[in-house]
Structure 1
Amino acid sequence: MTSTVASPDTGSPASKATRPVRKRKYNRREALAGYLFISPWIIGFLIFTAGTMIYSLIISFSRYNLATNVIKPAGTNNYQALLDNPKVAASLGNTLFYAVLAVPLEICFALFLAMLLNRVGRGAGFFRTVYYLPKMTPMVATAAIFFLLLNGNTGAINQGLRFFGIDGPQWLVDPTWVKPSIVLMTLWGVSGTMVIFLAALKTVPKDLYEVASLDGAGPVRKFFTITLPMISGAMFFNVIILTIAAFQVFDQAYLLFWRDQNNAAPEASLFYAVYLFQEAFRQFNFGFAAAMAWLLFVILMILTFIQVKVGNRFVYYEGDRS
């Protein structure tokens, strides 16, 4: 007779039953560790973002004067006041005009710079750093520079236009040119959008351009049939982000026109965020300012929803198959 040594029965029902138990315990420990690592962010979000949003929604239905620290219920009076206040409509109109003007220019200018950098061989890192430096400049310093550049009488921009026989406008005085002047200042910091476009351009397969060249396609056709479809995801993202930022424009307008309370700023420079700031921190009308903030939130949600619905029809994703 021959004897055999029995090996562990790894395929027994008991051993199979213990595996899911151990796996569940491991997953729980892993999930717990993950939540512990992100708990500082979660606590900060609940306190400083979600908590403040809920609190602002509550005080938007009240009369809250910060100077007297008195809160009285107001129902929907603050929201009714939004409809009756002409400055709300004027500031929304100025902000919408600025957004329609600034967002397409920022997209085109950023894409142009990104395509230039994408063609650079040697010294690419140097040029990328130089192009990104304006984004790192403090807004106060940028406003001071543009305040000098846009001076209608002695500014460098009008001096340059006079060299070509063109009389430059009064950028900071003429209501027609107030918003274009702020757009010029905004384009100074377009490098953040440029970096996103540059990253998207780096992912476009070069063999697509080679095949298009064999078919006789020129640079323009390559741009519209290859480049734009392949970077449409980045384009879609930038349009949404820039639209949201345009409706919240504050720094440029405030530093150029509203920092000195003694000087009368043109009405064309009264943007929605500037007027909200005035109501909250100059008039101390926090209830009305909170209602203004929630109106802006609803407007941005509607605009983003429309952009997503429309944009998804034109955005190409690598996994798509037609």
Structure 2
Amino acid sequence: MTTTSTETAVMPGAVAPPAPQSQRRRRARKDRAGYLFLLPWFIGMLFTVVPFFASLYLAFTDYNLLNPPKWIGLENFADMFRDPVLLKSLQVTFVYTFVSVPLSLAAALGVAMILNRGIRGLPWYRAVFYLPSLLGASVAVVLLWRYVFGFDGIVNAFLGWFGIDAISWTSDPDYALTTLIILHIWTFGSPMVIFLAGLRQIPVMYYEAAAVDGASKWRRFRSITLPLLSPIIFFNLIQSLIASFQTFTQGFVMNNGGGGPANSTLFYNLYLYQQGFNQFNMGYASAMAWTLLVIIAVFTAITFFTAKYWVNYDS
């Protein structure tokens, strides 16, 4: 039995006939529409790429906004190692990051585990704990924090009930950075929500089987919760590290932009701002910015490299 096909068969190796004129025009219109939708992104990219490479060039120059840039090579980077104030700002930033980030993640995980028990009014509690993270380190929040830890603030009033003398938290070099670390821990809402979502994905049967085998709550947490939640911990850790290294508003607002007392809250980004916009050393500030980029990249790479030893992906 013979069947007749209306389609033209193309032999192997033969060149396909060109598309009809109307089909090519239709495809061209679709391409133009796609590029039109991408146009805002291309325009925005110019405002990112051009300053990106401009700052790289300025990092090797002596530039003060008033005179043309003068090429000085690696002199800015060499001066950074001889700048005691910059080294102090690095110390403050490292202490702030490596103390506040683990404590903040621990608080977020602890609250998430409590909320994961199915308590009544969960949406309300979740919103309340997330609210500080939503406000973030805004100027208003830092001003409120400065009032809370002020000499006549709520914290000293509370300690006074127990006969403890008032402490000038924000003006004492021994305590000023501690108040900002507490502020960072207080804004744990964002990682908490992510932890809570991760906890909801862990199958209950794992805990039931471990309970039948007689595993304690601590053993279940260490052997089930942490391994299965490790990808979420890894994600929150990367996000928190990058954000902490870029801390600026807290130190700027807490002590009126000076990083005091005695440079105890002089974060790296705050000192970069002082060099660039107070002293107009734009070349030096650009070198500091690129050094910060390298620092963040190094610690991010270390975190990714060590992840293979503690991050588990359950398939």
* TM-score, normalised via structure 2 length: 0.88
Matches within 5 A, 1:186-201: 186-201=184-199
Q: Quote the offset at 1:143 in angstroms.
A: 1.1
Q: Is 2:172–2:261's contact at 8 Å kept on the other side of the alignment?
A: no
Q: Is 2:171–2:260's contact at 8 Å kept on the other side of the alignment?
A: no
- Rate the CA distance shift 1:43–1:87 in 2: closer, same or farther, 3 A: same
String of CA shifts for 1:72-96, please: whole Å, max 9, x gaps. 2222211111111111111101111
Q: 1:297 aligns with which of 283, 293, 297?
A: 293
CA–CA distance in structure 1, aligned partners of residues 160 and 278 of structure 2: 41
Q: Quote the offset at 1:123 in angstroms.
A: 2.1
Q: Which amino acid aligns with 2:309?
A: R
String of CA shifts for 1:211-263, please: whole Å, max 9, x gaps. 1111111221111111111110010111111111111111111110134x6x9
Q: Quote the offset at 1:43 in angstroms.
A: 3.6
Percent identity over the alignment?
A: 36
For 1:112, the equivalent position in structure 2 comes to 110
CA–CA distance in structure 1, aligned partners of residues 185 and 51 of structure 2: 32
Q: Which amino acid aligns with 1:197?
A: F
Q: CA RMSD in A?
A: 2.9
CA–CA distance in structure 2, aligned partners of residues 314 and 167 of structure 1: 45
- Rate the CA distance shift 1:265–1:177 in 2: closer, same or farther, 3 A: closer
Residue aligned with 2:247, SS: coil
For 1:204, the equivalent position in structure 2 comes to 202
- Rate the CA distance shift 1:212–1:16 in 2: closer, same or farther, 3 A: farther
Residue aligned with 2:175, SS: helix
- Rate the CA distance shift 1:212–1:142 in 2: closer, same or farther, 3 A: same
CA–CA distance in structure 1, aligned partners of residues 2 and 261 of structure 2: 95
Q: Is 1:65–1:286's contact at 8 Å kept on the other side of the alignment?
A: yes
2:239 is the alignment partner of 1:246: no
For 2:262, the equivalent position in structure 1 comes to 266
For 1:185, the equivalent position in structure 2 comes to 183
CA–CA distance in structure 2, aligned partners of residues 16 and 108 of structure 1: 64
For 1:40, the equivalent position in structure 2 comes to 40
For 1:8, the equivalent position in structure 2 comes to 5
CA–CA distance in structure 1, aligned partners of residues 270 and 251 of structure 2: 8
Q: 1:282 aligns with which of 278, 283, 305?
A: 278
- Rate the CA distance shift 1:38–1:194 in 2: closer, same or farther, 3 A: farther
Q: Quote the offset at 1:37 in angstroms.
A: 4.1
For 1:306, the equivalent position in structure 2 comes to 302
String of CA shifts for 1:258-294, please: whole Å, max 9, x gaps. 34x6x96431111111100001111111100000001
CA–CA distance in structure 2, aligned partners of residues 28 and 215 of structure 1: 66
Residue aligned with 1:258, SS: coil
Q: Which amino acid aligns with 1:289?
A: A
Q: Is 1:173–1:266's contact at 8 Å kept on the other side of the alignment?
A: no
Q: Which amino acid aligns with 1:8?
A: S
Q: Which amino acid aligns with 1:282?
A: N
CA–CA distance in structure 2, aligned partners of residues 206 and 147 of structure 1: 44
- Rate the CA distance shift 1:34–1:239 in 2: closer, same or farther, 3 A: farther
CA–CA distance in structure 2, aligned partners of residues 48 and 105 of structure 1: 37
- Rate the CA distance shift 1:168–1:12 in 2: closer, same or farther, 3 A: farther
- Rate the CA distance shift 1:115–1:48 in 2: closer, same or farther, 3 A: farther
Q: Quote the offset at 1:314 in angstroms.
A: 0.7
Q: Quote the offset at 1:64 in angstroms.
A: 1.2
Q: Is 1:258–1:265's contact at 8 Å kept on the other side of the alignment?
A: no
- Rate the CA distance shift 1:122–1:264 in 2: closer, same or farther, 3 A: closer
Structure 1 runs not aligned, ≥5 long = none
- Rate the CA distance shift 1:222–1:154 in 2: closer, same or farther, 3 A: same
Q: Is 1:158–1:168's contact at 8 Å kept on the other side of the alignment?
A: yes
- Rate the CA distance shift 1:292–1:164 in 2: closer, same or farther, 3 A: same
* TM-score, normalised via structure 1 length: 0.86
CA–CA distance in structure 2, aligned partners of residues 206 and 27 of structure 1: 51
For 1:161, the equivalent position in structure 2 comes to 159
- Rate the CA distance shift 1:94–1:42 in 2: closer, same or farther, 3 A: same
Q: Is 2:176–2:261's contact at 8 Å kept on the other side of the alignment?
A: no
For 1:123, the equivalent position in structure 2 comes to 121
Structure 2 runs not aligned, ≥5 long = none
Residue aligned with 2:312, SS: coil
CA–CA distance in structure 2, aligned partners of residues 38 and 110 of structure 1: 38
